[in-house]
């Protein structure tokens, strides 16, 4: 057992313990589950620290091959960081909901599974981790199962995830039949120009693309993100779709020599995601659906940077894309937690599970100034305004595109910049609503925001500002991750 295997094992081992404590310690089972979940993730930071100082690393647990590189460490940092804050936040948010032990057990398990996915060394176990993540996230999306809209979102998520998983499994079968191996490194050594392997790559793109929310396989996302508890919305948007992207990159890297067009394919999907995500977000009146659709456009920026890196065979685009992955996790996590705080004070605390709308936010800054400021910083950062985190990572992606001296890529970069401006068309009205003079009825009768919910929001707000002012704070993660990604593609 090395440091990074302990990092994965601790949350997975803690998950059933959390559930059992929640069921057995009566009448305070929910409280026991909450503090055990928080303690488990806090303890996981210890092996994470040791693992971060000793990469690359690898081990085998029976037939399960695990390899830690810069890309796996980046996903682990994002999963563990946001997961710890979401558990802290969820104490008062989920209080009294019932079955809280299931919520915390699934949430902690999902964190461990995503860290395992980032370290998977062979295709089959990559699929197993991917499936485990899908199951844990489905149970959390369906947490409010007594509400018809929540159950509809969960079923849609389950069906589309199952279809994606079947496509991935078919792709794995084609790779095994053609190369005789499932090990990612051995597959890359054996893979050459082959129509069968090209078909496998297409199946991986479609299958993992469901979880990444590649357009048009994105229709589960707005319903799942808006109907799940707000902490889970933050995890789905801030980590789960990014974990799906890491799985896609791992599988395509093993087939790097099959075609030289993976970069162009990623850039094409990137442009499509940006446009569709922004146009759909412009129509939304529910805050969480608006934020969910905006995730489509931000996946587009990540795909653009990755496509530029693979096309030009240079690290700047990869580092910019992975930098944006981290920043998006911070900003979208902050946006959903701040919006969830307002949803809690305006609706949930009064026993109402109605969605949070833009009209509800009118004058929110008068009663909830810190939460309104945090949500404003989150969405303006997502819109790319300096000196916030989103501007820095977008700028790095754009700079990488112009460095290629390719006119088509330069046109794509201009298109991406225009989409960043377009996104302010739905972020700005949200901010404007919170700072209106006349508070809405929901704001006037709203409850107080608990300190345990306020603390993660303040931490993420400080992080978004700090990374925007000092972008080098995350370079220790993005440089190693970018180098590991290009190395995986044989560059």
With contact defined as beta carbons under 8 Å apart, do 235 and 86 qualify?
yes
Please tell me the predicted confidence (pLDDT) of residue 41.
Answer: 96
338 in Cβ contact with 373 (< 8 Å): no
Long-range contacts of 402-405 (CB under 8 A, 24+ apart): 403/312, 403/314, 403/316, 404/308, 404/311, 404/312
Q: What is the pLDDT of residue 104?
A: 95
SS (H, E, C) 107-119: HHHHHHHHHHHHC
Whole-number CA gyration radius for the chain: 21
Q: Give which of 162, 190, 165 is closest to 176, Cα–Cα.
A: 190
Mean pLDDT, consecutive 10-residue stretches, the chain (491 aa), reads: 88 95 86 94 95 81 81 95 96 86 94 94 91 92 85 89 93 92 87 88 93 89 89 93 94 88 92 94 92 94 94 90 95 95 89 85 92 95 93 94 92 95 94 91 88 94 95 91 89 71
Taking the C-alpha atoms of residue 464 and residue 334, their distance in angstroms, rounded to an integer, is: 9
Tokens of 71: 């890309």
Q: Which pLDDT does position 107 carry in this prediction? A: 96
Residues 6+ apart with CB under 8 A from 160: 210, 217, 219, 220
Provide the b/e sequence for 162-186 (b: ≥16 CB within 10 Å): eebbebbebbbebbeebbebbbbee
- Ranges of beta strands (E only) in 35-148 are 57-61, 64-68
What pLDDT shows up at residue 28? 83
> What does the block give as tokens for 112?
């461990």
pLDDT at 201: 93
Cα–Cα dist 328/274, whole Å: 14
């Amino acid at each position: 057992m090395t440091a990074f295997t302990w990092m994965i094992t601790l949350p997975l081992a803690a998950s059933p313990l959390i559930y059992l404590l929640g069921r057995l310690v009566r009448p305070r089972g929910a409280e026991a589950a909450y503090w055990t979940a928080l303690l488990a993730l806090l303890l996981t930071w210890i092996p994470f620290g040791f693992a971060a100082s000793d990469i690359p690393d690898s081990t085998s647990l029976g037939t399960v091959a695990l390899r830690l590189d810069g890309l796996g460490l980046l996903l682990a940092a994002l999963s563990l960081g946001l997961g710890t804050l979401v558990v802290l936040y969820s104490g008062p948010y989920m209080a009294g909901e019932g079955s809280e032990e299931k919520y915390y057990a699934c949430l902690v398990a999902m964190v461990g599974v995503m860290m395992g996915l980032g370290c998977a060394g062979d295709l089959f176990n990559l699929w197993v981790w991917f499936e485990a993540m899908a199951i844990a996230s489905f149970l959390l999306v369906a947490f409010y199962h007594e509400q018809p809209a929540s159950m509809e979102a969960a079923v849609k998520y389950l069906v589309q995830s199952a279809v994606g998983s079947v496509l991935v499994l078919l792709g794995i079968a084609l790779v095994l039949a053609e190369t005789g191996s499932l090990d990612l490194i051995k597959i890359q050594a054996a893979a050459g120009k082959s129509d069968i392997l090209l078909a496998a790559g297409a199946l991986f793109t479609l299958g993992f693309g469901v979880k990444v929310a590649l357009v048009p396989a994105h229709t589960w996302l707005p319903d799942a993100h808006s109907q799940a508890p707000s902490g889970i919305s933050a995890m789905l948007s801030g980590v789960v779709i990014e974990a799906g992207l890491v799985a896609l990159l791992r599988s395509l890297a093993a087939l790097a020599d099959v075609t030289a067009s993976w970069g162009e394919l990623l850039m094409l999907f990137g442009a499509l995601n940006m446009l569709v995500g922004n146009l759909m977000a412009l129509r939304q009146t529910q805050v969480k659906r608006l934020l969910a659709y905006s995730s489509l456009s931000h996946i587009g920026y990540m795909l653009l940077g990755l496509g530029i890196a693979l096309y030009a065979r240079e690290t700047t685009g990869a580092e910019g894309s992975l930098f944006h992955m981290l920043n998006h996790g911070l900003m979208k996590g902050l946006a959903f937690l701040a919006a969830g705080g307002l949803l809690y004070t305006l609706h949930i605390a009064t026993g109402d599970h109605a969605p949070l709308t833009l009209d509800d936010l009118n004058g929110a800054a008068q009663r909830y100034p810190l939460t309104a400021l945090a949500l404003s910083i989150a969405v303006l950062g997502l819109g790319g305004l300096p000196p916030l985190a989103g501007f820095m990572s977008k700028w790095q992606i754009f700079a990488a595109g112009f460095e290629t001296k390719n006119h088509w890529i330069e046109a794509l970069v201009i298109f991406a910049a225009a989409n960043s401006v377009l996104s302010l068309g739905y972020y700005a009205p949200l901010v404007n609503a919170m700072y209106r003079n006349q508070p809405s009825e929901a704001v006037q009768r709203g409850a107080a925001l608990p300190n345990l919910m306020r603390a993660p929001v303040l931490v993420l707000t400080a992080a978004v500002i700090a990374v925007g002012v000092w972008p080098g704070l995350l370079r220790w993660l993005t440089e190693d991750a970018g180098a590991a990604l290009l190395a995986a593609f044989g560059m």
